[in-house]
Amino acid sequence: MTDPLLPGRDGNFRVWAPRATRVTLVVGDGEVPATEAGAGWWTAGIPGAAAGTAYGYRIDDNDPILPDPRSRRQPDGVHGRSATVDPGSFAWSDGLWTGRPLAGGLVYELHIGTFTADGTFDAATDHLDHLVDLGVTHVELLPVNAFNGTWNWGYDGVLWFAVHEAYGGPDGYRRFVDACHAKGLAVVQDVVYNHLGPSGNYLPQFGPYLHDAASNTWGSSLNLDGEDADEVRSYILDNLTMWFTEYHVDGLRLDAVHALVDHTARHLLERMAEETDALAAHLGRPLTLIAESDLNDPKLITAREAGGYGLTAQWSDDFHHALHVALSGETTGYYEDFAELDALAKVFGKGFFHDGTLSTFRGRRHGRVVDRTRTPASRFVVFAQDHDQIGNRAIGDRLSATLTPATLKLGALVLYCSPFTPMLFMGEEWAAGTPWQFFTSHPEPELGEATAKGRIAEFARMGWDPAVVPDPQDPATFQRSKLDWSEPTGGDHAEVLAFHRRLGALRHSEPGLTDPRLDRVEARTDGAVLLVERGDLLLLANFGNEPRHLTLPDGATAVVATEDTIGVDATGTVLPPHGGLLVRVPTR
C-alpha cells in the first residue's frame, strides 16, 4: 500500500495550499510552476526524480523556500529543503510478522536519544534482547518526527511525516522496527496531533492547518472542525496510515487527545479508530491505538457499536497517582486526592479514581464511571513511572532516587499483578540512577529562554523550588538523562532487574494475571495493606512501616514475593514493611 500523495512518487509532487495564488516547486536552482488541481491542491512534475531529490515550495513568490508539509525526510533540518524517499527500496524481513495484540502485553516506553549513549535507532537495536528477557511485548517510542534542534523530548515536532535525522532518519527507523519484529516485539509510536512545535512550523503558510479561535497549553489547536478542516483531518489520517504501512509499526500512542478540539459529529478519534481497524483487516495483523487523555472518560475505549470511539486503550494517570502516593507519601499538587490507600483500591476495582468525584486540583468534579462488566481491564495502560511523571518533576528524579529497593519491588509487584496493561519507563526495571530531565536544543536564544522561564512558572504552582530546575537548553541536562548501561550488572540494580524479569515471566506463565475481566477484581484495604482478589489470586501489598500478620485461607500457596523470606504457613503470612506477596487461594 503506497500513499498516492507520497512526495515525488512517479515524479509527481502535490501540495495543498488553498489560499495561494501561485505555488512553485523549487528543485536545485530550477523552479517549476505548479498547476491548480482543484480543492486547493497544486501539482508539479519532475520526470525521473530519484530518491534523495532535494526540493521545496515557494508560495506566492515569497521567501523562504518552504519544506513540504508531507516531507518524508529533512536532511538539513526542519528549515531546510525536503528530500524524496522511496519506501519500497527498503528490504523488509518481517514478512511472517503477524503482530501482537495489546491485551496480555507489557509495554516499555523509551526515548531514542537517551536510551543509549549514541542516541540512535541502530544503537537501541543492540538492547532488544534485554527487553525480550524482561518479558516486554510492545516497545513504545517517544515522538521521532522532525523537530528543530538536535535533541528534544519530541513533542515539539513540526513535520509529522519526517523522521528526525539525528536518530537515523527514515531507514534507521525501518531497521529498528524490522529488528523488533524479528525479536517478537511490537512497536508503538508516540504521535502528537494536538499542536505543532514553536520553531519550523510552516504549515500556516500553506493553509489553515491551525484553529483561529482555539488553543491549548502548547499553542494553537489544529483546525479539526472549521473551514477547510476536511483536508486537515485527512492530513492527520494520512499520517496515521503512513506509520502503519510505510514503517510497519503496530500501534500509535496518541498524545493528549483531550486537547483535540473537534465539534463535528464524527470526532477525529472515532475516524482514527475506523481507519486503523480497516488497515488491520487489510494488513492481517492487529493494530493498536492508545490514547493519553486527561478526561477519565471511558467513551474513548468503548466500542463504536456502543456509542464510543473504539480506541484500543487509554492511559490511566489515576493508577500512577495512587501508586506514587502509596509508595512515596508525596501528597502535593494533584497527588492530594490520592492521599488515602483506598484510592489505589478503588482504581484497581474501577479503572479510575475520579469517576465523577471532586478533583481538588481542578476545583470541580471530574471523570465518569467505567462499566466494569463491558470494559476489559487491559484497555487501561498503567505505570508507576513514565516520561511525564518523572520529567515534569523539578529535577527529573525517578522513584529510585528516594525509595529503597524493597519499596521499588513492591511497586513493581503491584504494577505487574494489576488487571491492567502495565508499562515501564526505560531504566525503571533496574532502578536507574540517572534522572530523566526536560531538555531542549532550540537554536533560537529567545525561545530557549522562554522555555526555561515557562518551566520555572510551572513548578512554582506545584510547590517546588524553582532554583533547582535545570536549564533545558544546557547540553548537560540532556547528557544526564541518558541511561547508564553499566548499572544493571551489579548491586541493587541487578537485584531489582532480576525481580522485574521474574514478574515479566510470571505474566506470560500465569493466565490469571492477564485475565481482562474487571468485574472479577475485588480490592480493599486493611490499614496500610492493599488486598486485591482476582479469581484464585490474592495480591497483598504492605505499604506501611510496620510488619503485618495476615491470616490466609486454608490451602493458600505463595506465587511470588518481593523477598525470598516472605512465605505462607499454617498461620498465614507476615508481610515486612514495604513487602508484598501474590498467593493462590482455593476457589470457592
Single pTM value for the model: 0.97
Residue 10 assigned to a binding site: no
Is 559 in contact with 534 (CB distance < 8 Å)? no
Which of 394, 403, 391 lies closest to 431, judged by CA? 403
Residue 257 assigned to a binding site: yes
Residue 252, beta-bridge partner list: 189, 289
Under DSSP, the state recorded for 372 is T
Residue 317 assigned to a binding site: yes
- How many angstroms separate the CA atoms of 412 and 406, rounded? 10
What letters, b where the CB count within 10 A reaches 16 and e where it falls short, cover 377-399? bbbbbbbbbbbbbbbbbbebebb
Q: Quick one: pLDDT at residue 469?
A: 87
Residue 18 located in a structural domain: yes
Which of 55, 69, 79, 167 lies closest to 442, judged by CA? 79
- How many angstroms separate the CA atoms of 81 and 74, rounded? 7
Residue 477 located in a structural domain: no
Residue 256 assigned to a binding site: yes
From residue 134, alpha-carbon distances to 185, 266, 273, 410 in Å are: 12, 40, 30, 17
Cell output for 110: 523509551
The CATH number for 579's domain is 2.60.40.1180
What Rg value do the Cα atoms of the chain yield, rounded?
Answer: 25
Q: Which of 68, 156, 250, 255 is catalytic?
A: 255
Give the model confidence (pLDDT) of 174-186 as tens digits: 999 999 999 999 9
Q: Quick one: pLDDT at residue 219?
A: 76
Residue 30 located in a structural domain: yes
Report phi then psi at 14, rounded to 5: -130, 140
From residue 101, alpha-carbon distances to 157, 516, 586 in Å are: 28, 13, 31
**Helix, strand, coil shares, percent, the chain, to 5:** 35, 20, 45
From residue 21, alpha-carbon distances to 39, 68, 163, 203, 204 in Å are: 13, 17, 31, 16, 15
Residue 578 assigned to a binding site: no
Residue 194 assigned to a binding site: no
Cell output for 373: 462488566
Which residues does the chain have with pLDDT short of 50?
none
Q: Quick one: pLDDT at residue 1?
A: 56
Please say if 250 is a catalytic residue.
Answer: no
Is 268 in contact with 259 (CB distance < 8 Å)? no
The CATH number for 78's domain is 2.60.40.10
Residue 561 located in a structural domain: yes
The last residue of one of the domains, among 86, 117, 146, is: 86
Residue 392 assigned to a binding site: yes
Residue 127 assigned to a binding site: no
Residue 319 assigned to a binding site: yes
Residue 574 located in a structural domain: yes
Residue 26 located in a structural domain: yes
Is 82 in contact with 71 (CB distance < 8 Å)? yes
Q: Quick one: pLDDT at residue 239?
A: 98
- What's the domain count of the chain? 2
Write out the DSSP string of 64-108. SPBPPTT-S--TT-TTS-EE---GGGS----TT-----STT--EE
Which of 141, 169, 138, 167 lies closest to 155, judged by CA? 141
- How many angstroms separate the CA atoms of 204 and 571, rounded? 70
Please say if 122 is a catalytic residue.
Answer: no
Residue 75 located in a structural domain: yes
Residue 82 located in a structural domain: yes
Residue 459 assigned to a binding site: no
Which of 256, 74, 249 lies closest to 167, judged by CA? 74
Note down the domain range covering 38. Answer: 9-86
Residue 320 assigned to a binding site: yes
Instruction: Give the DSSP H or E segment for 559.
Output: strand 557-561
The last residue of one of the domains, among 55, 86, 117, is: 86
Angle between helices 491-509 and 405-416 (to 10 degrees): 10
Q: Quick one: pLDDT at residue 466?
A: 74
- How many angstroms separate the CA atoms of 223 and 261, rounded? 8
- How many angstroms separate the CA atoms of 235 and 272, rounded? 12
Is 243 in contact with 163 (CB distance < 8 Å)? no
Q: Which of 68, 190, 270, 292 is catalytic?
A: 292
Q: How many CB atoms lie within 10 A of CB 242?
A: 19
What letters, b where the CB count within 10 A reaches 16 and e where it falls short, cover 500-533? beebbebbeebeebbbeebebbebebeebbbbbb
User: Is residue 248 classed as helix, strand or coil in its secondary structure?
Assistant: coil
Residue 59 assigned to a binding site: no
Cell output for 128: 532488544
The last residue of one of the domains, among 60, 86, 112, is: 86
Q: Quick one: pLDDT at residue 515?
A: 96
Report phi then psi at 191, rounded to 5: -125, 150
Question: Cis peptide before 64, with omega less than 30 degrees from 0?
Answer: yes
Is 316 in contact with 352 (CB distance < 8 Å)? yes
Residue 390 assigned to a binding site: yes
